[in-house]
Amino acid sequence: MSRSRPKVIRCAACEKRIPDHEPDLVLQDLDGGLPRFFHTRCGGAAYAAAAEKPGGHLLTVRHVEEMAN
Ligand SMILES: [Zn+2]
- pTM across the whole model: 0.77
The three-point CA angle 52-61-46 to 5° equals: 25
Residue 66 CA to ligand 1 center (angstroms) comes to 22
Cα end-to-end distance, the chain, whole Å: 34
pLDDT of 20: 86
Pairwise CA distance, residues 10 & 38, whole Å: 7
pLDDT tens digits, one per residue of 6-61: 678 999 999 999 998 889 999 998 888 889 999 999 999 999 988 988 888 899 98
Residue 18 CA to ligand 1 center (angstroms) comes to 7
Residue 65 CA to ligand 1 center (angstroms) comes to 20
Residue 37 CA to ligand 1 center (angstroms) comes to 8
pLDDT of 6: 64
The three-point CA angle 9-39-37 to 5° equals: 45
Where in the chain are the domains? 8-64
Residue 22 CA to ligand 1 center (angstroms) comes to 11
pLDDT of 1: 52
pLDDT of 40: 93
